[in-house]
Amino acid sequence: MTIPRSVLFNLFFFVSTFVLTVPAALLSLVAPGRIIGFARFWARTQISAARIICGIRLQVSGWENLPPAPVLIASRHESTFDVLVWIALLPAACFVVKRELAQIPLFGRCIRAAGMIVVDREAGGAAIRTLLRGGDKAKAEGRHIVIFPEGTRVDPDQHPPLQPGVAALASRTGLPVVPVMTDSGRFWGRRAFRKRPGTIRIVIQPPLIVKTGREALLDALRAAFDASKLVDNSVGDNEIHFHP
């Protein structure tokens, strides 16, 4: 049943995303402040569909490590699910996104209207300056900043070098860095058509305590990623159901 369910979900995902993107792009012209709410509806719809169609459930633990004040959420990135979940969980998350996404017709307009930090990864120093200006703005607006330090989606067993952007943001903004683990790649692979039933676990870890130095922060973040173990606990109070 995995393949038929995957076909149905992927069809739903792409069709519903297109259908919702058209009015969202129009909304960005007349009421850009409402785009975030529209994005939350989209993300919660997809997560609910993944549960209903594919049997993919969501469990989040460590909420006590995420203060209401702005922080840098530095998350492992194994699938598209890791983007959906933070749009759905937070009222106004600000993502660091690659320029290619902002160039998609209509969808890119929505990304910019939502105030996301769009970075050209090939731009070198200019990319860092764009990142820092975006971080300043997000902090001033009281928004959590979500960044994927690996820079791209990775397989669960991959541990590529971390990109320096998260350290530059932390140094510039002074915001705490909160490591987040995910095992989404076990059920929703980074480029996999097939979606497997199971429980995706998101673990929010305590903020890192690093006195000085960007390299020290990257080392601490890597250690947090490597040391964390996602245990197969039974789904209970930590399971989250969204109702778009």
Given a cut of 60, whether residue 148 has pLDDT beyond it is yes
Question: Would you state the structure tokens that stand for residue 37, as one six-digit string?
Answer: 């709410």
* Over residues 205-209, mean pLDDT: 90
Q: What is the largest CA-CA distance in the chain?
A: 52
Given a cut of 90, whether residue 212 has pLDDT beyond it is no
Question: What does the mean pLDDT of the chain come to?
Answer: 89
pLDDT of residue 244: 57
Q: Cα 12 from chain centroid? A: 21
Out of 53-57, 217-221, 232-236, pick the least confident.
232-236
pLDDT of residue 235: 47
Terminal alpha carbon distance of the chain: 26
Helices (H), 31-164: 35-49, 81-89, 99-102, 107-113, 125-140
Given a cut of 60, whether residue 215 has pLDDT beyond it is yes
Backbone angles phi, psi at 32, to 5 degrees: -60, -25
The owner of tokens 């497997």 is 196
Helix (H, G, I), strand (E, B) or coil at 59: strand
* Over residues 112-122, mean pLDDT: 88
Task: Say what percent of the chain tops pLDDT 90.
Answer: 59
The residue count of the chain comes to: 244
Residue 6's CB: how many other CB atoms inside 10 A?
Answer: 18
pLDDT of residue 89: 94
Given a cut of 90, whether residue 211 has pLDDT beyond it is no
Using N-to-C axis directions, what is the helix angle for 125-140 and 165-173, rounded to 10°?
40
Burial status of residue 164 (CB atoms within 10 A of its CB: 0-12, 13-18, 19 or more): middle
Q: Is the domain defined by 2-227 classed in CATH 3.30.1300.10?
A: no
pLDDT of residue 123: 74
pTM of the entire predicted model: 0.90
* Of 142, 105, 106, 135, the residue nearest 118 (C-alpha): 135
**pLDDT 10s digits, 153-180:** 888 888 888 988 999 999 999 999 999 9
Given a cut of 50, whether residue 233 has pLDDT beyond it is no
**pLDDT 10s digits, 49-91:** 999 999 999 999 999 999 988 999 999 999 999 999 999 999 8
pLDDT of residue 214: 84
Question: Would you state the structure tokens that stand for residue 140, as one six-digit string?
Answer: 């001033």
pLDDT of residue 213: 77
pLDDT of residue 225: 87
* Of 207, 190, 197, the residue nearest 235 (C-alpha): 197
DSSP strand pairing (94-98 vs 72-75): unpaired
Question: Would you state the structure tokens that stand for residue 85, as one six-digit string?
Answer: 């979940």
Domain ranges of the chain: 2-227
Whether the Cβ atoms of residue 135 and residue 146 lie closer than 8 Å to each other: no
Given a cut of 60, whether residue 236 has pLDDT beyond it is no
Which sign does the torsion angle of CA 181, 204, 88, 29 carry? negative
d(CA 10, CA 16): 10
Given a cut of 60, whether residue 99 has pLDDT beyond it is yes
